[in-house]
Structure 1
Amino acid sequence: MTVDRLALAVSLANEAGDLARSLRSDPERLKITEKGPMDLVTAADHAVEALVRNRLADADPAASVLGEEEGRTGVGRACWIVDPIDGTVNFARGTPDWAISIAYFDGKALTVGVIHAPDLGLTAAATRGGKACLNGVEIRLDAARPIGPIVALGYSSRGSLPEYLARIEALLADGIEHRRHGAATIGFLGVLAGWFDAYHEPMLNIWDAAAGLVLIEAAGGIVHHDPVASFLERPSEVLAETGQIAGLRSLLSLEAFGAR
């Protein structure tokens, strides 16, 4: 049986979003706990991941699954990569900047990516070598850059606070504004939607990034990250950009002024 993995991922992301919102509507069912500083987990995170895993077990049983909450299960080299709720703090507080991220790794490359942000009403979907669509409309990142470049930045306790602050200083000194939304998926969506010219985070887990990487490349953007084989095992620096800010990768590396 041939599996239409893009259609499967879109369907799963929409079902997962409905479940998450339903659980959030009842605070007693949400059961918020803290994994670390500003790193929350809720009953919705676990319920959504369980839902996606169960659906994938039926639809694509040969593939393994890597999820944020339960790790990797299954023995297949091919792997679904799932972040059930990226931006859990935002989700739990009722702000809209959170999303479900579902990607597929065929054993050699990331080939399917879907990000669904229910509260923003946005769904992005792409296949490697295909087109990237946002709410069904094809997106290309080769249009002229608008006046006033903006880069979205990510930060977590895995990274260096002095380096994060130094990046902000470097961007501002170069005439580039910055934003931080507390969810990598919103950074990727923002690049696709034209809100930002790039998204950068120095220590990102693959479940936060996999779908976004497929989307940005399919839309004609540029991505920088460790090889997927190592990224599956440990966090990587990630830069996803339109390519329209000259020298951005070098600027964000901080090498120019010795922060590393």
Structure 2
Amino acid sequence: MMDDRLKAALNMAHEAGELAKTMRESPSALETSSKGRMDLVTAADHAVEALLRERILKFEPDVAILGEEGGMEGTGKAVWILDPIDGTMNFSRGLPDWAISIAFFDGTQITHGVIHAPDLGITAWAKRGHGSFLNGRQIVFGDTVPESPIVALGYSPRGALTDYFARIETLLDAGIEHRRHGAATIGFLGVLAGWFDAFFEPALNIWDVAAGLLIVEEAGGVVRHDPFSDFLERPSNVLARNRGFPGLTTIVDSAEFA
């Protein structure tokens, strides 16, 4: 069941996606710069976040907003959490693996989440207690164990490269394939769509994952991360998986992935 908040988030996400694609058509206007190693920002990131903030405050004036580019604005326990373009490097190079992430945190838990991947033509959303949807189709994970499991792994300079390689080795030793797409939102969409059976990345910021955590959980999946009281302040390791893998569960829940 959609409520006004979820409808607003979906409308914002699609409007933001169109803005980002339009800006990308003029590469010189993107004004790409570096925030750090392997961490780009473009004019589109800033423009999309500004648009989302404007739409949120019009819909709900007395609310706090936490965005990747603008940080926290406003006060109160309820917070909209935004990643205007997750996968900026992919976006800036014309690759399709990027998405807009919008979530609402009520002070205790995430209650609404939307991930919109314009180039892939995929939109996922969830409202707590009302299921998870992918392009309008409800997703409910089954218990089937896959013959050829795949785990999506993320990496950033905030984590140790040796640990990343160790995770790959652990998976390969267990006969499990891995993929890396350069955007946490694509990891969540992949779990929901059945491309992957789990997604793991260390040291993620909450704006990268807030919507995805709810969307996977509402499909009957398992998510793991630090308590929100901590996660709102600093990065956390994040695991999201479906529920069909006894063997995979043991591996991705092991110390190597902690």
C-alpha displacement of 1:62: 1.8
Q: How does 1:1-260 map to 2 (within 5 A)?
A: 4-142=4-142, 144-248=144-248, 250-252=250-252, 255=255
C-alpha displacement of 1:5: 1.1
8 Å Cα contact 1:123/1:134 also seen in 2: yes
C-alpha displacement of 1:184: 0.1
Letter in 2 for 1:102: I
Letter in 1 for 2:131: K
C-alpha displacement of 1:145: 3.6
Q: Give the Cα–Cα distance (whole angstroms) in 1 for the partners of residues 60 and 146 of structure 2.
A: 42
C-alpha displacement of 1:246: 2.0
C-alpha displacement of 1:143: 5.0
| TM-score, length-scaled by structure 2 | 0.96
Which whole-Å deviations, capped at 9, do the CAs of 1:161-181 have from their partners, x for residues lacking one? 101000000000001000000
Q: Which runs of 5+ in 2 are unaligned?
A: none
Q: Secondary structure at the match of 1:237?
A: strand
| TM-score, length-scaled by structure 1 | 0.95
Q: Give the Cα–Cα distance (whole angstroms) in 1 for the partners of residues 19 and 138 of structure 2.
A: 27
8 Å Cα contact 2:67/2:81 also seen in 1: yes
Structure 1 pair 121/145, CA: closer, same or farther in 2 (3 Å)? farther
C-alpha displacement of 1:247: 4.8
Letter in 2 for 1:220: G
Q: Give the Cα–Cα distance (whole angstroms) in 2 for the partners of residues 250 and 236 of structure 1.
A: 20
Q: Give the Cα–Cα distance (whole angstroms) in 2 for the partners of residues 147 and 254 of structure 1.
A: 21
C-alpha displacement of 1:248: 3.7
Which whole-Å deviations, capped at 9, do the CAs of 1:185-236 have from their partners, x for residues lacking one? 0000000000000000111100001000000011110101111111000000
Q: Give the Cα–Cα distance (whole angstroms) in 2 for the partners of residues 113 and 251 of structure 1.
A: 28
User: How many percent of aligned residue pairs carry the same amino acid?
Assistant: 61
Letter in 2 for 1:96: P
C-alpha displacement of 1:255: 3.2
C-alpha displacement of 1:142: 1.5
Q: Give the Cα–Cα distance (whole angstroms) in 2 for the partners of residues 89 and 235 of structure 1.
A: 20
C-alpha displacement of 1:76: 2.1
Structure 1 pair 29/117, CA: closer, same or farther in 2 (3 Å)? same
Which whole-Å deviations, capped at 9, do the CAs of 1:77-107 have from their partners, x for residues lacking one? 1000000000000000000000000000001
Q: Give the Cα–Cα distance (whole angstroms) in 2 for the partners of residues 145 and 20 of structure 1.
A: 38
Q: Give the Cα–Cα distance (whole angstroms) in 2 for the partners of residues 219 and 52 of structure 1.
A: 26
Q: Give the Cα–Cα distance (whole angstroms) in 1 for the partners of residues 153 and 97 of structure 2.
A: 14
C-alpha displacement of 1:141: 1.2
Structure 1 pair 189/111, CA: closer, same or farther in 2 (3 Å)? same
Q: Which runs of 5+ in 1 are unaligned?
A: none
For these two proteins, the number of residue pairs brought into alignment is 256
8 Å Cα contact 2:46/2:69 also seen in 1: yes
Judge which range, 228-237 or 142-151, deviates more. 142-151
Q: Secondary structure at the match of 1:114?
A: strand
Q: Give the Cα–Cα distance (whole angstroms) in 1 for the partners of residues 251 and 192 of structure 2.
A: 22
